[in-house]
């Protein structure tokens, strides 16, 4: 059964997309294969990739902040949930 540490590791793994975006940017902007690409198109492509990188960085920072707050407030503890996976504070009397 997965636990909080598995969740933490999976959250950390999503940050790999930032490195993937950097790798794509280097591939298109530095590869001799694309040296013939006009400068304005190369700049536009690089700007779009940089924008994606910044967007995902913001999303992942917010995700990590939420995770840390949940850990600090013990919101990931098993006793907070019913057998069917509902949070006890929201579960009705039949759950």
Tell me which residue of 21, 23, 14, 24 sits closest to 60, measured CA to CA.
Answer: 14
Mean pLDDT along residues 18-44: 91
The predicted-structure confidence for 55-64, as pLDDT tens digits, reads as follows 999 999 999 9
Give yes or no for residue 7 having a pLDDT over 80: yes
Give yes or no for residue 49 having a pLDDT over 90: yes
Give yes or no for residue 92 having a pLDDT over 90: no
> What's this model's pTM, rounded to 2 decimal places?
0.69
Q: Where exactly are the structural domains of the chain?
A: 4-80
Cα dihedral sign, 13-85-77-80: positive
């Amino acid at each position: 059964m997965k636990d909080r540490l598995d969740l933490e590791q999976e959250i950390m793994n999503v940050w790999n997309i930032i490195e993937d975006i950097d790798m794509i940017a280097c591939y298109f902007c530095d590869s001799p294969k694309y040296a013939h690409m006009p400068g304005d198109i190369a700049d536009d492509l690089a700007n779009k990739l940089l924008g994606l990188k910044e967007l995902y960085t913001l999303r992942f920072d917010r995700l990590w902040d939420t995770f840390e707050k949940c850990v600090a407030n013990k919101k990931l503890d098993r006793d907070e949930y019913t057998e069917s996976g509902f949070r006890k504070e929201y579960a009705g009397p039949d759950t």
